[in-house]
Amino acid sequence: MSLRIRTAICIILFAPVYLLLYTILHEAGHAIVIISCGGTINTFHILGLDAHVASHGESFSVFCAALNNAAGMLLPIIIGAAALGFYRPNTRFHGYHLCYFLGSVSLLFSALVWVAFPVVSLFTALPQSEDVTKFLNITDFHPLLVSLGR
């Protein structure tokens, strides 16, 4: 099999695998906070566009509620930063480097949502289902403070 075909297959397979892994880590971030606050996970749904964690019994302080909303972004970024430590620059397979690049860029964009959405919230209402919106509502932090804090 030629190197170009192997690279193309690698890139094609990377997207669904990455999206599934990111979704698992995102929801796991929420689940870890819920469990640490005394909650019990009812459902851990990761497939489709309605990925979510349903729970009961948690007792959220303002800090824990804010952390729960931020954890969906934090856990994938922490794991992604750790994965960068395993990057091998001398690898000759271009698909490997391209996948690392795409993964890093997509993590950067997921963090940039926490910069852009608070600024946008100064001018228009954000969707109430977004973690950033929930974080802003719970903490009452000024949106620019959240944008600059990232």
- pTM of the shown model: 0.90
Domain that holds residue 58: 3-149
pLDDT of 26 higher than 90: yes
Domain count within the chain: 1
Give just the sign of the alpha carbon dihedral 10, 16, 19, 25: negative
Give the whole-angstrom CA distance, residue 68 versus residue 76: 14
Average pLDDT, the chain: 92
Query: What is the model's pLDDT at position 150?
Result: 58
Listed in sequence order, the residues at least 6 apart from 6 whose beta carbon sits closer than 8 Å to its beta carbon are 93, 95
Query: What is the model's pLDDT at position 3?
Result: 84
If we measure between CA atoms, which residue out of 1, 13, 2 comes closest to residue 98?
A: 13
Residue range 103-123: mean pLDDT, rounded:
93
Residue range 13-40: mean pLDDT, rounded:
94
Tell which wins on pLDDT, 50 or 124: 124
Give the whole-angstrom CA distance, residue 93 versus residue 96: 6
Give the whole-angstrom CA distance, residue 59 versus residue 38: 7
